[in-house]
Amino acid sequence: MLNSIPSGMHRQRGVSLIEMMIALVAGLVVSGAALALVLATMKSNSETIKATRLTQELRATADVIARDLRRARSVTDPIANVDVTSSLQTCNTITLSPTATSPKTCVIYGYDCTSTGGDFKAIGFAGNKIRLTTSATAAPSCPTSSTGTQLSSNAVKINSFAISSTSADVYNISLTGQFANDPSATPLIRTFSQIVRIRSAAVN
């Protein structure tokens, strides 16, 4: 004799194998999309941080160049040097080098001239670095990879440096560089430009 199901009870059904597989696949698709979004966001943030840091490094180097170049032709005490005009005129010249080619990769200038000398500087691009040479008596030669003082950071490889003049008092400097230890086949490269206005007029 077959037992009948009481009228107050209902047969319970579980999840079928197909339904469970569909749910798992849907869950994996959603999880994969979420993971891909997180990874893309992390990569984008990392690249933004690297680009910002590289730009800051180039800006810092450009600022060092600009701060000193703005002093070109200046005299510490003009009153005390009234009778030594011919000597002061050695600070008048701002020379971009090399003279026969472009872009110019070195600037030579002087300031604080007196009857006996002054502060003469040459800032240039050599060996993927920005370097500075100095002299107390006359315009120095542009730096080489083994001369002068390094101005740019060791963390950055300078790919190019160019300086141009739009007038006797306005100069534009441009630096392009990348991280020195970047192992990527396509390293991050940034360019930073800055306008420099010379504060002092030439001595007549």
CA dihedral 134, 196, 130, 58 (to 10 degrees): 150
Q: State the residue for tokens 């730009």.
A: 55
DSSP state, 110? E
The pLDDT value given to residue 30: 86
The pLDDT value given to residue 86: 60
Least confident interval from 85-94, 113-122, 176-185: 85-94
CA dihedral 93, 98, 101, 104 (to 10 degrees): -70
Dihedrals φ, ψ of 19, to 5°?
A: -65, -40
Cβ(152)–Cβ(129) below 8 Å: yes
Q: Coil, helix or strand for 33?
A: helix
Least confident interval from 24-33, 97-106, 142-151, 174-183: 24-33
The pLDDT value given to residue 117: 80
pTM score, two decimals?
A: 0.76
Model confidence pLDDT, tens digit, residues 7-26: 555 565 667 888 788 888 88
The pLDDT value given to residue 4: 57
Model confidence pLDDT, tens digit, residues 67-99: 999 999 887 655 555 555 566 667 888 999 998
The pLDDT value given to residue 176: 97
Q: What is the mean pLDDT of residues 112-141?
A: 91
Residue 111 CA, chain-centre distance (Å), reads 27
Tokens (6 digits) for 78: 């003009």
